[in-house]
Amino acid sequence: MLDLNWTNLRPLPRSVAPFRGETTASYLRRLAAANQSDEKSLLAYITGIPRVTLPFAADRLAVVAGRDEWALRLAIPDLGLGRNRGPGNPRAYSRRKDDGLACRLCAAAKGIAEPVRCWKQPEDVICLRHGRWIGNGSTADSDQPDLRFQPDILQAHRRHLRLVRRHGRDAVAVGYAFAEYICRRWVGERSYNEGFRQRMEIFDGADWSVHHTAPLLAAAIYPQVVALTRLLASPFWQAQAQPGNSLGQQRFANEVSRTVAPGYRWPQPPRSGDPLCHWIMDRRPHDPPLLSYRKWPSASWLAAEQSERDAALSDATSTSRSRELSASLLWDAPGFSTQSGAA
Ligand SMILES: [Zn+2]
């Protein structure tokens, strides 16, 4: 075991390169492991305070890790939290569902064998370079489905990224959250799931079965989720589906039938339990998890954070190198529990 009872900070025997977008916790875990220590001891050594919580000052980590401070800040978004969020405030760090496993093949290409956790945006669900699912359900290092024989899923991801560019991340993230909830409900109810079943067969053969939390299920419904996101995030289609606009609602339902759920019925029978019908009629399916998305930061907050970060980055090349780097806005793709997806 490494002796960490030093009075003055000094570099550990083994240095570890950070992975782009890595969380501080993930980096600390890898650095400790490489030096045969544990995260708690290492954290106490770096901060000089027992039981300290993340985040902490990047300069002290840089000394211990034997790396350039600003290289660490650029790679690890939560190391600096901006001028108004000094070290010791764990608010930004402790948000849940903001991080997930990095693509293990990308990590391996950097010579990293152990799991790396990165900050993620809602649309960061696929590594296009390696054709791997890294989104919902991907909880283990080996749990990243191979998408090389799933052209629909890869194509859907390109559409997803285009939607973000067109409508903005906030609108698409919220639309995606609703769409994923609705599509999971359909899968659980064996409705409009033809494409899902075909993709599950490609993944797992004709007698496939899948747990509702499995990454395979999340990947197999993804094309339908993105197709529905296209409508739910679009101001035009939102206007068509407005309550009271019966002609527009029929047009909206026709588009759903054409691009999302072939055979989608409209109008739905009275007291229909169809989740999309609920979205059309009152703008939200009857399920409380979607309310959590109200906690997401607003677009103006994102813009402020982004400009602060850009300023910090440009200052990093000038004399103001001690200035704190603002954290990115860091989200993970949303995930809900739904019914079983087995056919
Ligand atoms: Zn990759």
Domain residue ranges of the chain, discontinuous segments joined by +: 24-94, 120-295
> What is the distance in A from the centroid of ligand 1 to the CA of 332?
17
CA–CA distances in Å: residue 93 to residues 81, 86, 89:
9, 12, 8
**How much distance in Å is there from the Cα of 69 to the middle of ligand 1?**
26
Spacing, Cα 126 to ligand 1 middle (Å): 8
Q: 102 C-alpha vs ligand 1 centroid, how far in Å?
A: 8
Helix (H, G, I), strand (E, B) or coil at 22: strand
User: How close is the Cα of 107 to the center of ligand 1, in Å?
Assistant: 7
Contact (CB, 8 A) for 255 and 237:
yes
Confidence at residue 84, expressed as pLDDT on a 0 to 100 scale: 34
Residues 282-319, buried b or exposed e (16+ Cβ, 10 A)?
Answer: eeebeeeebeebeebeeeeebebbeebbeebeeebeee
Residue 330 Cα to ligand 1 midpoint, Å, equals 19
Residue 72 CA to ligand 1 center (angstroms) comes to 21
Rounded to 5, what percent of the chain is helix, strand, coil?
A: 50, 5, 50
CB contact burial 54-83 (16+ within 10 A = b; e otherwise): bbbbbebbbbbbebebbebbbbbbbbbbbe
Q: How far is the CA of 119 from the centre of ligand 1 (A)?
A: 15
How far does residue 81's CA lie from ligand 1's centre (Å)? 27
104 CA → ligand 1 middle, Å: 6
Chain centre to alpha carbon of residue 202: 25
* Owner of token pair 């930004």: 92
CA 135 – ligand 1 centroid, Å: 12
Handedness of CA 310, 313, 317, 323 (dihedral sign): positive
Contacts of 86 (CB under 8 A, 6+ apart): 324
Query: Residue 106 C-alpha to ligand 1 middle, in angstroms?
Result: 4
Q: What is the DSSP string of 186-250?
A: HHHTT-S-HHHHHHHHHHH-TT----TT-HHHHHHHHHHHHHHHHHHT-HHHHHHT-TT-HHHHH
Say if CB 64 and CB 46 are below 8 A apart. Answer: yes
Name, in order, each residue with C-beta under 8 angstroms of 142's C-beta and a sequence gap of 6 or more.
Answer: 104
Query: What is the pLDDT, as a whole number, of residue 203?
Result: 95
CB 292 within 8 A of CB 98: no
Q: Can you give the pLDDT of all 343 residues of the chain as single tens digits?
A: 454 444 578 899 999 999 998 888 899 999 999 999 998 888 888 877 766 666 567 888 899 999 998 888 888 877 764 433 333 333 333 344 567 899 999 999 999 999 999 888 888 899 999 999 998 776 665 589 999 999 999 999 999 999 999 998 878 888 898 899 899 999 999 999 999 999 999 999 998 988 888 899 999 999 999 999 999 999 999 999 988 899 999 999 999 999 999 999 999 988 888 999 988 887 655 443 443 333 333 334 344 444 554 554 444 433 333 222 222 222 222 332 223 333 2
pTM of the model: 0.75
Q: Identify the H or E element spanning 133.
A: strand 132-133
